[in-house]
């Protein structure tokens, strides 16, 4: 069964989310008070409505009660985001994600009832900085405040020349490297990207090749070792 998601606010972030959700197979209701923005995306989503997202009477009549989730993307106007959030929560939408343009605003939205608050500009800025400073390591995404998934190219010392060397031995070496900096909680290899594509369940006996990239999951403090 397709998920139904309403996106409130069709600026760059909101319209991008709406398009991505549609491409991913969701039924998307796109909402904004700007007729030009609504018209621009009309052919790319399931349905569009031109209303003020802070108008309770109008919002109660656009079918939000049947939505699996709502994305509120009106970050530049905190009052509109708060009103929309209160209305959507009162309607009974089970999951509401709200965009914020600062941590203070984010905390307010959490207290009002947001299930999740995102900071796209801050997160993208931090990701770009990390990738620029990170040498060969690429940040893929954060799972939590202290846990990330990253991609690391195979190092010369990890490349298998003798078949008896296995992935488990490579992982042991990775852990030992991290231990030289600080106590390590855990780092795991969850995928290997090679010429044949991505292996999401690598065999521990699988050899590491020169062109491979290893996808690692672990604590950020442990993964920081691989930014060199």
pLDDT tens profile 134-171: 555 555 566 666 777 777 777 676 665 444 445 556 66
What average pLDDT does the segment 183-192 reach? 67
Q: What domains lie within the chain, and their CATH numbers?
A: 4-118 (3.40.50.720), 135-227 (3.30.70.1450)
Statement: residue 213 has pLDDT above 60: yes
pLDDT of residue 163: 46
Confidence bin at 6 (pLDDT 50/70/90): very high
Return the higher-pLDDT residue of 48 and 201.
48
Confidence bin at 179 (pLDDT 50/70/90): very low
Return the higher-pLDDT residue of 80 and 202.
80
Compute the Cα dihedral for 114, 120, 124, 126 and give only its sign: negative
Query: E strands, the chain, where?
Result: 4-8, 27-32, 47-50, 69-72, 96-99, 116-118, 138-142, 147-153, 187-194, 197-199, 213-219
Confidence bin at 125 (pLDDT 50/70/90): low
Pairing state of beta strands 69-72 and 96-99?
Answer: parallel
Could you give phi then psi for residue 30, rounded to 5 degrees? Answer: -105, 130
Confidence bin at 111 (pLDDT 50/70/90): very high
Highest mean pLDDT: which range of 66-75, 87-96, 133-142:
87-96
pLDDT tens profile 18-69: 999 998 899 999 999 999 999 999 999 999 999 999 999 999 999 999 899 9
pLDDT of residue 126: 56
Q: How does the average pLDDT of the chain come out, rounded?
A: 79
Report the interhelical angle of 78-91 vs 103-112 (nearest 10°): 20
pLDDT of residue 50: 96
Statement: residue 7 has pLDDT above 70: yes
First to last CA, the chain: 45
Statement: residue 184 has pLDDT above 50: no
With 0-12 / 13-18 / 19 or more C-beta atoms within 10 angstroms meaning exposed / middle / buried, residue 127 is middle
pLDDT of residue 162: 43
* pTM of the predicted protein model: 0.61
Q: Is residue 69 within 8 Å of residue 93, measured between CB atoms?
A: yes
């Amino acid at each position: 069964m397709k998920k139904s998601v309403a996106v409130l606010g069709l600026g760059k972030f909101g319209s991008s989310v709406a398009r991505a959700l549609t491409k991913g197979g969701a039924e998307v209701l796109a909402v904004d008070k700007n007729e030009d923005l609504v018209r621009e995306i009309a052919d790319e989503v399931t349905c569009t409505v031109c209303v003020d997202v802070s108008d309770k009477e109008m919002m109660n009549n656009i079918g939000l009660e049947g939505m699996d989730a709502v994305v509120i993307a009106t970050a530049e106007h905190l009052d509109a985001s708060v009103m929309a959030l209160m209305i959507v929560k009162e309607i009974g939408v089970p999951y509401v994600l709200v965009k914020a343009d600062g941590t203070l605003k984010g905390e307010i939205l959490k207290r009002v009832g947001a299930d999740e608050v995102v900071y796209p500009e801050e997160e993208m800025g931090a990701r770009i900085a990390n990738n620029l400073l990170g040498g060969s390591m690429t940040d893929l995404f954060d799972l939590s405040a202290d846990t990330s998934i990253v991609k690391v190219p195979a190092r010369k010392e990890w490349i298998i020349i003798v078949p008896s060397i296995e992935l488990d031995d490579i992982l042991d070496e990775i852990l030992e490297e991290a231990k030289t900096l600080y106590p390590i909680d855990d780092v795991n290899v969850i995928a290997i990207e090679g010429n044949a594509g991505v292996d999401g369940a690598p065999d521990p006996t699988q050899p590491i090749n020169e062109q491979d990239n290893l996808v690692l999951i672990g604590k950020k403090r442990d993964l920081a070792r691989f930014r060199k």
